[in-house]
Amino acid sequence: MAMGGILGVMSLAFASVVLLATTMATDMSTVPCNGWPDYCSRKYSNISLIGTHDSAFLDAGIRFLQAQTHKNAAGTLSMCHTSCTELDAGSLARYLREVKTWLEINSNDVVTLLLVNGDNLDPSAFDAVFGRNRMRDYAFVPATSPKTLAISDWPTLRALIQSNKRLIVFVDSKADTTKVPYILPEFDYFFETPYDTTDPSFKQCTLDRPAGSSPEGKMYIVNHFLDKIPLWTSVLVPDNAADVKTNAATGKGSIGAQANLCEKVYGRRPNVVLVDMFDRGDVFTAQRTLNTYQVPGSSFGFLGLGRDTPVVEDMAIS
Q: Read out DSSP for 153-220?
A: GPPBHHHHHHTT--EEEEESSS--TTT-TTEEEHHHHEEE---SB--TT-------BSTT---TT-EE
Per-residue confidence (pLDDT) for residue 1, from 0 to 100: 54
Looking at residue 86, its pLDDT comes to: 80
Helix (H) or strand (E) holding 67: strand 64-71
Domains and their CATH numbers in the chain: 32-291 (3.20.20.190)
> How far from the centroid of its chain's Cα atoms is residue 77's Cα?
23
Residues 277, 100, 48, 30: what is their CA dihedral angle, to the nearest 10 degrees? -120
CB contact set of 219 (below 8 Å; sequence gap of 6+): 45, 151, 189, 190, 271, 272
- The tens-digit pLDDT sequence of the chain (318 residues) is 555 555 454 555 554 544 444 444 445 568 999 999 999 999 999 999 999 976 679 999 999 999 999 999 999 999 998 888 888 889 999 999 999 999 999 999 999 999 999 999 999 999 999 999 999 999 999 999 999 999 999 999 999 999 999 999 999 999 999 999 999 999 999 999 999 899 999 999 999 999 999 999 999 999 999 999 888 878 888 899 999 999 999 999 999 999 999 999 999 999 999 999 999 999 999 999 999 965 444 333 333 333 333 333 333 332
Separation of alpha carbons 80 and 229, rounded Å: 22
Exposed e or buried b per residue across 239-268, where buried means at least 16 C-beta atoms within 10 angstroms of its C-beta: beebbebbbbbeeebbbbbbbbbbbeebeb
Q: Which residues are catalytic?
A: 53, 81
* DSSP element (H, E) containing 88: strand 88-91
Burial class (CB in 10 A: 0-12, 13-18, 19+), 3: exposed
Is the separation of the CB atoms in 110 and 168 below 8 Å? Answer: yes
